[in-house]
A and B are shown apart, each in its own frame.
Chain A
Amino acid sequence: MAETRKGSDASSPGSQPQGGQRDSSLKIAIVDESPIRAAILEDGLREAGFTQVQRIAETHNLLVRIYAMDPDVILIDLESPSRDMLEQMFQMSRSVKRPVAMFVDQSDTASIQAAVDAGVSAYIVGGLKKERITSILDLCISRFNAFHRLQTELDQAKDALDERKVIDRAKGVLMKAKKFTEEEAYALMRKTAMNENKKIVDIAQSVLTAAELFK
Chain B
Amino acid sequence: MTAGKLRIGYIPLVDAAALIVAADLGFTAAENLDVELVREVSWSNVRDKLNIGLFDAAHLLAPVAVASSLGIGHVRVPIVAPFNLGLNGNAITVSPRLFAALESRAEGDVADPRVSAQALARVVEERKSRDAEPLTFGMTFPFSHHNYQLRYWMAAGGIDPDEDVRLVVLPPPYMVESLTNGHVDGFCVGAPWNSVAVDAGIGRILHFGCEIQSRVTEKVFAVRERWAADHPETLAALIRALAAAASFTEAPENLATVSAAIASRLGVTPELVGRALTGNLKIAPDGQVRATSRYLMIGRNGAARPDLIQAAWIYAQIVRWGQAPLSEESLMLAQAVFRPDLYDAAVGGSPPAGPGEPGDGIGAFIGPAFVPTDIAGHLAAWRAKRSGRARLSVVR
Residues of A within 8 A of B (CB): 59-61, 63, 78-88, 90-91, 102, 104-106, 109, 112-113, 116-117, 121
Contacts and interface: CB of A to CB of B under 8 A. Distances in A.
B73 A91 contact: yes
B42 interface: yes
Contact of B168 (A85, A90, A112, A117): A85
B173 A81 contact: yes
Contacts of B173: 81
Nearest to B77: A106
B44 A84 contact: yes
A102 B75 contact: yes
A90 B48 CA distance: 15
Interface residues of B, number: 26
B169 A85 contact: yes
Given A60-B178, A81-B171, A117-B54, 10 more contacts: A79-B41, A81-B42, A84-B170, A85-B171, A88-B142, A88-B168, A88-B169, A90-B74, A90-B142, A116-B52
A119 to B, nearest CB: 10
A86 B53 CA distance: 22
A85 B168 CA distance: 8
Nearest to B142: A91
Given A78-B45, A79-B41, A102-B75, A116 B171 contact: no
Interface string B150-168: 0000000000000000001
A105 B74 CA distance: 9
B137 interface: no
B54 A84 contact: no
Closest 10 A-B residue pairs measured CB to CB? A81-B171, A91-B142, A88-B169, A83-B42, A81-B41, A84-B42, A83-B44, A90-B73, A85-B169, A113-B52
Contact of A116 (B48, B73, B183, B323): B48
Contacts of A105: 75
Most-contacted residue by chain A among B140, B173, B174, B323 (CB, 10 A): B174
A26 B171 CA distance: 29
B83 interface: no
Contacts of B73: 87, 90-91
Interface string B308-319: 000000000000
B170 A85 contact: yes
B50 to A, nearest CB: 11
A85 B175 CA distance: 12
Nearest to B167: A88
Most-contacted residue by chain B among A61, A87, A90, A105 (CB, 10 A): A87
B75 A113 contact: no
7 contacts: A87-B44, A87-B142, A88-B142, A102-B74, A113-B53, A113-B54, A117-B54
B386 interface: no
Contacts of B45: 78, 83
A106 B75 contact: yes
B267 to A, nearest CB: 14
B168 A109 contact: no
Interface in B308-354: 323
Given A82-B171, A87-B169, A106 B43 contact: no
A114 to B, nearest CB: 10
B169 A84 contact: yes
Interface string B360-373: 00000000000000
Given A87-B142, A90-B142, A102-B75, A116 B49 contact: yes
A143 B76 CA distance: 29
Contacts of B178: 60
A78 B47 CA distance: 12
A194 to B, nearest CB: 36
A86 B170 CA distance: 10
Nearest to A114: B52
A91 B67 CA distance: 12
B141 interface: yes
A68 to B, nearest CB: 16
A84 B52 contact: no
Contacts of B53: 109, 113
Contacts of B169: 84-85, 87-88
A59 B53 CA distance: 29
Contacts of A78: 45
A158 to B, nearest CB: 24
